[in-house]
Structures are given as C-alpha cells and as structure tokens.
Chains A and B, each alone.
Chain A
Amino acid sequence: MKGFAAVAPYLQNPLTLIGFVLFLVFGLFDRIIAAGILPPLTTEGGLQVVQLLLSYGFVLALVPTILGMGLQYYKIHRDLVVNTKVEARLTELQAILPGLAKSIAEIAGAARLSGDKLEQAKAYLRDAENLIGQSGRRINAGNLVLMAKAYLLVGQPERATSCFEQALQEGPTDAEAAEARQGLATSYQLQANEALRREDFRHD
C-alpha cells in the first residue's frame, strides 16, 4: 500500500490510468490461467470465448469513450453557460463603465471611480465573482481580461493582477495575451505605488 501511494501521483494522467487498469485486469487473468482454476477449453468453447471477447471488448471500449466524450461535452457546456452569464454581467458593467472599453494604458491614466458609480461597479463585479465562485467553472481569457480591467477602474489592482495572470493561463488569443501583459505592467505599477505611499506615510 505504501508503494502504491508513492506511484499514485503518476497515475493522474487518464492514459496512464487506463493503462494501469488494463494492466491490473489482464494481470488478474494471467494469474487465473496460471493457477489452473479454469478447465481447458474445447474447440467450440474456445471459439465462443473469442467471439465474446471480440464483441464485448468492442462495447467495453466504446462505453468509456462515449461516456468520456459526454462528460467533456457537459463540462464545456457548463463552462459556456457560466461564461455567457459572466459576460452578460460584464456587458451590463460596461454600460455604467464606458472606460472598460479603453486600452489598459488609458485606464491607468484615467480617474478612479467614486461615489455611486463605484458602488454600482463593485456590485456588478461581486455578482460576477459569485457566479464564478458558485459554479467553480473555468472563465475564458476574454472575460478575465474584462474583469481585470474593471478591477483596475474600481481601484483593486491586486485582484486585477490575479485575473490578468489567470487570463494568460487560459489559452488567450494574441490580442488578449497582449492586453493581459499590458495590464500586469499597470497593475503591478499601481500596487507598487500603493506600497510606496504606505512607506511615505510611515516615514512621515
């Protein structure tokens, strides 16, 4: 058991896992045959076994393949549903934050929001966060970049950094990756500004 625990982490890849299960099943068959538990087969019996193996082997291979594809389709569909909902929230956010359509550098130079608009923007962001948190689904790079830009506008550069970094991990398009890199330069700069201000405050 101790030995298996050491090997277990290497079995996470589905291909390795399938190979391992086949290894166990056929290893068991091999043992059964070697132990002589099974009586020798007649020619007719042997033919039936081969036919069974061929037909059910095909079904056995087909079932996990179809189930796997179905599961993957379900996952992709759920990701899509959540992303569509998040996108809808962000589109609503865009209506009250016209600056969201601007480039990262323009956002960095723009004023931070204040008052009602800030509270409204924060509420939309919270909605989007809740949707993501509850679903546990993966958010696409485009939505992550939009969320990050909104975080910059509401003065939360740490959260923006985290979204931009995630966006780079989610297979972004070239344009999305470029925007995420620009965004990271800006969000780190803003975080440093905050830290420098705190230092100044301590020195005062």
Chain B
Amino acid sequence: MTDDPEATLKKAEEFALSALRSDPNDQMMRAQLGYTLKDLAGAYLRQGRSARAQQAMDDAEATFTEVLIANPLDASALNGLGNLRAMRGDPDGAIDYYERATNVEPEYTFAWYDYALSLDAKYERSGRKDFATLQKLAGVVVKVLELQTADGQIQRLPDAALKYIFKLKDQILGEVERVKAAH
C-alpha cells in the first residue's frame, strides 16, 4: 500500500510513456497517461506547487487532445478534459465535456458523477438560485444512482463518492420540490 501518491503517479507516468514508445497508437494508454498527469496536477495543487500543477494540467490537456484527434468520440478523453476544466475553476466548460462524454457512453458512471459535481459547483456559484441547473443536477444525480444499482458489470463508485451522491440527492430533490411548490 503506497503512502506517497506523487511517487506512485510518477512511476505510472514512466511506464505509460514506456508503453507508448512501444505502441504509439495505443490511445487507451494515452488517455490513461492523461489521467496520471491530471492526478499529478492535483497532488501538486494540494502541496501548493501551482506552477508545477499548471504544467501538469497543460500536459494532461495536450495528451487528452491527442487522443481526441485520433478519435473525436473518445469518452474517456472527453471526461478527462472535463476534469481539467473543473480543476481550472470552469464548471461551464467542464459540463460541456461531461455532456459530450455521457452522450457518447451513456453508462459511463464516472463521467456522470463528475458531471454532477460540476453542476453542483455551478449551482453553488449561482447562489443556489439557478433553477435550470438545479433541475439538471437532480436528473444527473438520479442517473448516477440508477447506474450504481443496475444489474451487470458497471463501474462502481468508491464508497466516499457514493455517500456524497446520496447526500446530494437528499438535498437536491427536496430543494426541487420546494422550488416547484413555491412556483
């Protein structure tokens, strides 16, 4: 069990680059490298190393863009770009990418979950007044929970994420009902 995520991510980056040298057309590995760089950026941000974080985010963005050049409908790269927009404090940009990712792959739970987080951020930013975003958020939260309880092999969210979604559901659905009643 690693206690140094940064060092582990560096190793992941090193092996992903090595794998890509052997097979430069492996777009799944390239998308994975994008996520490794994005996670490295997150680790740098936590440590307050913003210049390195920005560099890692730029590298991740370039990597995901390369994947999209090879396949404009790569849901994983679209979701990755959405994550980067969210990290840069741009929920609208993130939402646009998540919409595209979930349109391409409607059972992509992680993209739906990230979509919910960005809609929540946008709703908060509006001072909890943007009803259209609230309604959209309610729909996305329900979709995440639907996917989580569906039969068959789907991606399972980590417990903490699931807990957060349940909390959000209770908050949001109640709020939608209240706003509807007020209208």
Binding site for B on A (CB under 8 A): 103-106, 108-114, 158, 178, 181-182, 184-186, 188-189, 191-197, 199-201, 204
Contact = CB atoms under 8 A, between A and B. Distances in A.
Nearest to A111: B153
B36 A111 contact: no
Given A185-B29, A188-B9, A111 B154 contact: yes
Contacts of A195: 1-5, 8
Contact of B15 (A185, A192, A194): A185
B160 A204 contact: yes
Binding site of B, secondary structure by majority: helix, strand, loop or mixed?
Answer: helix
A119 to B, nearest CB: 16
B15 A182 contact: yes
A191 B26 contact: no
Q: Which 5 A-B pairs have the closest CB atoms?
A: A105-B28, A188-B12, A185-B15, A185-B16, A195-B5
Contact of A189 (B9, B46, B76, B153): B9
Contacts of A111: 153-156
A196 B7 CA distance: 12
Contact of B43 (A105, A182, A196): A196
B35 interface: yes
9 contacts: A108-B28, A158-B1, A178-B22, A185-B19, A188-B8, A192-B36, A194-B1, A197-B158, A204-B160
A110 B43 CA distance: 25
Interface in B151-175: 153-156, 158, 160
Nearest to B110: A109
B158 A192 contact: no
Contacts of A197: 158, 160
Contacts of B33: 185
Contacts of A108: 28, 32
A109 B75 CA distance: 11
Contacts of B36: 185, 189, 192
Contacts of B13: 185
B126 interface: no
A186 B16 CA distance: 8
B39 interface: yes
A191 B8 contact: yes
B11 A188 contact: yes
A181 B15 CA distance: 6
A185 B28 contact: no
B177 interface: no
A149 B153 CA distance: 17
Contact of A178 (B1, B19, B28, B39): B19
Nearest to A175: B22
B22 A106 contact: no
A169 to B, nearest CB: 15
